[in-house]
Structure 1
Amino acid sequence: MLNRFPKLRPTPYQASIVAIFVFSLVIRFWNLGQFNELVFDEVYYAKFASDYWLGNDFFPSHPPLSHYLIALAMGLGQFFPVNPEQVNDLTGAVRSTWSYRWLNALTGATIPLLLGAIAYLLTQRRLVTLLTMGLVALDGLFLVESRYALNNIYLVFFGLLGQALVLWHLRQGKLWQLILGGISLACAGSVKWNGFAFLLGIYLLWAIAWFRTVFRQGWAEQQVNSLEPLDGNGQNNHDFFSRWLTISPFKFALWLVLIPAITYSVIWIPHLLMNGEYASLEGFWRIQRQTWQYHRRVGNSPDIHPYCSPWYSWLVMARPIAYFYQKSGKFGLIYDVHAMANPILLWFSTGAMGLLLGTIAWQKISQFFFNRTNSINVPLRGVTLYIVVNYAANLLPWLGISRCTFFYHYLTAYGFSILALALILATLLDSPQRSHRIIAWTVLTLVAIAFWYWSPVFLGMPLTPKGFALRMLFPSWI
């Protein structure tokens, strides 16, 4: 009898994507309910989410979307089996730790997929896609932020999803992609205001494309070149810009300005209704002012919080954050959770951003002073612009922030620096020179080893005092 169902034979590329996702999923859910207490800012976000169920009024220090999602996780978590040793009433009601963490873990496991999707939409190169996904899956900061009831992973999820949808629209031209992109980008800002940096990146790229193509090259020439397809390597630099001009000023204002503004406002409605004193249009604006004033009042010194760190220190991870620290047992084993990146990955990613910026600067200098229009072969120049603009949009606004900031605020910009590293590593791996390939494989090996070495402080695994000290390479890390 013939088999009616054909055998599924995934390609190595498809199998690799599935393997990376499964790895990301397993490592985030492994021992997720450990530490039967509120870890770091779970004292705020898990508590706020529980307040919705309890009907308690509260003032959020950020927009409420992440509180809704954690509350949803709590509600669904009631239907899951509960370990009695992982139940507490610290949120104001008896709940398992797993119940308010599982949705974060699931959301965090999708981050490699989303950043990989962006890499593919930009480059159409499978190698860049897999490298991007693999590197993100081997990072510690994305992992730690996924394992607790915190809000940063939701911000990154919606921001990357929104950008991926806009890039997808640029390739296929479907209106629903642009609409959902605008809604998702608004959702990122509805988790924290700095989530709007993803929308700012889109605004800047659109503005650069219009300025460059319309004002420098002329509308008529744009109309001809807008029909040119990207080649296999995405080298048609002009086409990268012309695609952005398919979003007319009217479409831009409607779907990327008005729709995000409406989305942000609508997301506040449940919170305003559940907190009666704000249940009006005036209340909406009042809570925006109070939130702004709250953050302005927060100071910036070790007295405010011992883990405050300025933006420039994030580039080398000078001051990661201890989310949890506990000594137990007769051997004094240490259980520590550090919100820190994979050090090797972060340092190479910062170097990759520096290399991209230096290459662009040198090319412009060569063009201006030596009239060498092709003095340097910059791979995927449109992609490079995308990375640099979004990295800057997510990092540079912190220069003007006076309040205490933390290393996890670098999470959004960090993702784009990982994309930069993946792009460079793919170029090295494709190089005919053996030395270039050796360099790329050496970097990838070091990243993997570093993830394994620091995984105990990502996952809260027991360490001896000596083992813990060996992982805290600098005094500022403790």
Structure 2
Amino acid sequence: MKIKKKQFNQSNVIFYLGMFAVFLLSLTLRFWQLERFNTLVFDEVYYAKFANDYLTRTPFFNAHPPLSQYIIAIGIAIGTHLPFGKTAVNSMAGSLLSPWDYRWLNALTGSFIPLVVGALAYQLVPRRTFAFIAALFIACDGLFLVESRYALNNIYLVLFGILGQLFIFKSVEAEGKKRWLLLVLAGIGFGASAAIKWNGLWFLFGTYLILICAWAVRFIQGNRGNEEQSREVDSPLIPAESPVQKLTQLNFIEVGLSLAVIPILVYSICWIPHLHLNPTPNFWQMQTEILTYHERIKSGPSVHPYCSTWYSWPLMLRPIVYFYKTASNNAQPDPVLPPLPSGATETIFDVHAIGNPFLWWFSTLALILVAGVLIHRIVVWFQTRQVASVDSLEQQQPILFPPTAQMWMLLYLIVNWAANLLPWMKVSRCVFLYHYMGCSVFGALALAWWVDRWLYSPQTRLRGMGVTISFLIVGAFIFWMPIYLGLPLSQMEWKIRMWLPSWV
């Protein structure tokens, strides 16, 4: 007994050390030379400026809900009083600021996203290796790294959406005041995600869909889904119950509070500071103004050179160049750029908002496999029910779907991936690769589940596949690191990283 307890404690220590290492990696990469480009990069021309407008009380029109700009404004207010990060300053946001001032809070917030994704993975299936692999994969995603290093808003949208789902799953395993607290936190997360951008609602939409699925399965099974779960388990490493199926334990008041009332309240309250500064148009008029503004935006290269179609995102066919500049030692020093490498004739500084190619491509394959597994299970379940319906009542056995926690998790992943992607089919305006960031979390979770499963497989071939995929993802992260961080590259070094013509 003491030996087992000692092994358990050692396993816990290794797990927490691994997660701390992932966090430390994320933190270091996000803060490393955070002020290296002394300018407003990509949409910082909106978000950093709008954030400073709130601080200087300058009226303006905002085409998105205001929460992300409040957060950046808090970062600016704190950053201007910090005794470091002042190696360069500019007035592009409307005040004399260091890039550190309007970027540091995003960098800090983005550092926690891998941990939150790992916590969600562990909540779905309590396996440490699955949680660690999921956190590591997100930490090795270039798009999350790039978005975290600049005063942009997508990391907040994803973070709040994931937290909303994490808290709703934790609430079904709690009781009394703790459950109510978690339900309130879930509602705050969903409302805050929508208060970043309206597409933050996709996380709430996915939660509604998976709740409907859980109730549908329970109804089909004659309300026995939560009490008489099949003991069939695909792997001894996976428990038989899942927090996804437990969502049906929430009563009408709890669902209404966490998935409707609180999100609406949080979204509405977030507009108060903006409306205090900009009293017209009013709250309802602002919602109409935002909608009509985005409806007026067309699509195609004539609107923006990096517009991309929603169906191209899983293959990452059209990333975005956030910053691109060439420099030479023969020319005058550029105050926007860091010092050039000695002896360099022509240097390229490029920040590409591009995911980790191997992570995204393997995640897409993982999602296809997940869909295949679920379709096969549904077909088998349907066929079994048909056969059982013609047997005698004494011979019938309850055929439950999904019968294991891993099936519920896979259903959750595919439903939420679809909920974050398919609504974009109806969007006619120019859209970008970063709109896939919410989907990419569920893709990375699907891939992490397969890799974790393969690493524990008795088949050497599958174990080798899991190890190979992990090393390819880490290696790709290192290989494309220069265009995530904007490191100086020669023409040849830059070209070998542009694998597809559409990446340029």
Q: Is TM > 0.5 for Structure 1 vs Structure 2?
A: yes
Determine whether 1:361 maps to 2:366. no
Name the CA distance, whole Å, in 1 between partners of 2:155 and 2:46: 15
Counterparts of 2:85 and 2:168 in 1: how far apart (Å)? 43
Which position in structure 2 is the counterpart of 1:218? 222
Report what 1:119 is aligned to. 121
SS of corresponding position for 2:270? helix
User: Deviations for 1:391-410, whole angstroms, at most 9, x for unmatched residues?
Assistant: 11111111111100000000
Map of 1:264 onto structure 2: 267
Deviates more, 1:41-50 or 1:202-211: 202-211
Equivalent residues of 1:366, 1:375 under 8 A apart? no
SS of equivalent to 1:101:
helix
Q: Which runs of 5+ in 2 are unaligned?
A: 1-8, 330-344, 388-398
Indicate the residue corresponding to 2:92 in structure 1: 90
Amino acid at match of 1:311: W
Q: Tell me, in whole angstroms, the C-alpha distance in 2 between the residues paired with 1:26 and 1:327.
A: 26
SS in 2 for 1:181: helix
Deviation at 1:363, TM superposition (A): 2.6
Q: Deviations over 1:254-277 (max 9, x none)?
A: 232111111110110110011132
Residue aligned with 2:428, SS: coil
Cα distance change, pair 21–438 in 1 and its aligned pair in 2 (3 A):
same
In structure 1, how many angstroms separate the alpha carbons of the residues matched to 2:127 and 2:26? 22
Offset of residue 140 of structure 1: 0.2
Q: What corresponds to 1:205 in structure 2?
A: 210
**Alpha-carbon deviations, 1:409-461, whole Å to 9, x = none?**
00000011000000000110010111110011011111111111000000000
The Cα shift of 1:83 comes to: 5.1
Cα distance between partner residues in 2 of 1:208 and 1:376: 11
The one-letter amino acid of 1:188's match is: S
Residue of 434, 453, 473 corresponding to 2:460: 434
Aligned length: 463
Q: Provide the rounded CA distance (Å) in 2 between the counterparts of 1:151 and 1:28.
A: 15
User: Aligned-pair distance for 1:170?
Assistant: 1.9
CA distance in 2, matches of 1:346, 1:224: 38
1:383 matched to 2:412? The reply is no
Which of 48, 58, 61 is matched with 2:60 structurally?
Answer: 58
For each residue in 1:158-192, what CA deviation from the matched residue of structure 2 results, as whole angstroms up to 9, or x when unmatched?
Answer: 11111111111122242100111111111000000
TM-score for both structures, normalised by structure 1? 0.92
Task: Give 1:389 deviation, angstroms.
Answer: 1.0
Question: Is 2:149 the partner of 1:147?
Answer: yes
Paired residue for 1:182, among 184, 187, 191?
A: 187
Alpha carbons 1:63, 1:268 under 8 Å: kept: yes
Residue identity opposite 1:217 in structure 2: Q
Displacement of 1:377 after TM fit? 9.8
Answer with 255-264 or 454-463: which moved more. Answer: 255-264
Distance 2:38 2:79 in 1: 16
Residue 475 of structure 2 is aligned to residue 449 of structure 1:
yes
Superposed displacement of residue 378, structure 1: 7.8
Counterpart in 2 of 1:253?
256
One-letter code aligned to 2:349: Y
Question: Deviations along 1:179-217, whole A, 9 cap, x unmatched?
Answer: 11111111000000000111111111111112221x312
Aligned counterparts of 2:18 and 2:373: Cα–Cα separation in 1: 31
Mapped to 2, the partners of 1:319 and 1:262 lie a distance apart of 37
Q: Contact between 1:124 and 1:233, CA under 8 Å: does it hold in 2?
A: no
Instruction: Give the superposition deviation at 1:287.
Output: 0.4
Following superposition, the deviation at residue 364 of structure 1 comes to 2.5
CA distance, structure 1, for counterparts of residue 496 and residue 404 of structure 2: 40
State the one-letter code of the partner of 1:335: F
Question: Where do 1:64-463 residues align within 5 Å?
Answer: 64-82=66-84, 85-173=87-175, 174-213=179-218, 215-219=219-223, 221=224, 224-225=227-228, 233-236=237-240, 240=243, 242-278=245-281, 283-330=282-329, 331-369=345-383, 380-463=406-489
Q: Secondary structure at the match of 1:322?
A: strand
1:341-392, Cα deviation, whole Å (9 max, x unpaired): 0101110001100110012112323444577979999871011011111111
The one-letter code of the counterpart of 1:103 is L
Name the aligned partner's letter for residue 204 of structure 1. L
Q: Which amino acid aligns with 2:492?
A: K
Residue identity opposite 2:102 in structure 1: Y
| CA-CA distance at 1:68 after TM superposition | 0.1
> Aligned pair in 2 of structure 1 residues 83, 131: CA closer, same or farther (>3 Å)?
closer
**202-211 or 418-427, larger mean C-alpha shift:** 202-211
Runs of 4+ in 1 over 6 A off after TM superposition: 370-379
The structure in which a higher percent of residues are helix is: 1
> Deviation at 1:128?
0.2
- Equivalent residue letter for 1:344: F
SS at match of 1:86: coil
Q: 8 Å contact 1:161–1:184 — kept in the other structure?
A: yes
SS of match in other structure, 2:303: coil
SS of residue paired to 1:124: coil
Displacement of 1:150: 0.3
**d(CA) in 1 for partners of 2:245, 2:98:** 52
Superposed CA offset, 1:196-250 (max 9, x none):
111111111111112221x31234x357449x9x99744425x655411111122
For residue 301 of structure 2, give the secondary structure of its aligned residue in structure 1. Answer: coil
Q: Which amino acid aligns with 2:268?
A: S
**TM-score, structure 2 as length reference:** 0.88
Take 2:212 and 2:90, find their aligned partners in 1: how far apart are those partners? Answer: 51
Match of 2:15 in 1: 13
- CA–CA separation in structure 2 for the residues paired with 1:83 and 1:246: 50
Q: State the secondary structure of the residue aligned to 2:173.
A: helix
Q: Tell whether 2:40 aligns with 1:38.
A: yes
1:5 alignment counterpart: none
CA distance in 2, matches of 1:24, 1:114: 13
Q: Which secondary structure state, in structure 1, belongs to the residue aligned with residue 321 of structure 2?
A: strand
Farther off after superposition, 337-346 or 248-257: 248-257
**Residues 211 and 248 in structure 2, CA contact (< 8 A), matched pair in contact too:** yes
Deviation at 1:106? Answer: 0.5
1:75, 1:106 → 2: CA distance? 15
Deviations 1:294-339 (A, max 9, x none): 0000001110000000011101110000000011123110000000
- Residues 172, 111 of structure 1: alpha-carbon distance in 2 compared, 3 angstrom cutoff: same
Residue 122 of structure 1 contacts residue 234 of structure 1 at CA under 8 Å; is this kept in 2?
Answer: no
Once the two structures are overlaid, the 10-residue window that deviates more, 335-344 or 245-254, is 245-254
| DSSP-derived class of the 1:88 partner | coil
Contact 1:16 / 1:130 at 8 angstroms: preserved in 2?
yes
Q: Distance in 2 between matches of 1:55 and 1:340?
A: 35
